[in-house]
Amino acid sequence: MSTWTMKDELHALSQGYSIFTVDNGLVEIQRVDDPPAHYLWTEEMGEESKFSSDEEAIDHVKKMAEKGNVTAQKALALSNP
């Protein structure tokens, strides 16, 4: 299985999402709720969340994966349905 790299995290963050391990140990794709609070945030990424919900972020990742985006494909492969 692939691992989520710093390069993957930076790309995902620039798109407004990331993968997170939640309380029950599952890995989920979620929107970045507060971009400036993320440890890799830069001003170029903006201060507002790019998505109104986690579901919107997941839909974006699915669309990007269908278009061949490797980071999005990896996020889907690593996350739990």
Do 57 and 71 contact (CB within 8 A), yes or no? no
17-21 and 27-31 strand pairing: antiparallel
pLDDT for 24 equals 86
Q: What is the pLDDT of residue 61?
A: 97
Q: What is the pLDDT of residue 53?
A: 94
pLDDT, tens digit (0-9, with 9 covering 90-100), for 9-21: 989 988 999 999 9
For residues 22-40, one letter each, b for 16 or more C-beta atoms within 10 angstroms of the residue's C-beta and e for the rest, the string is eeeeeebbbbbeebeeeee
Q: pLDDT tens across 47-75, in order? A: 778 899 999 999 999 999 999 999 999 99
**For residue 17, what pLDDT is reported?**
93
One-letter amino acid at 52 equals S
pTM of the predicted model as reported, rounded to 2 decimal places: 0.84
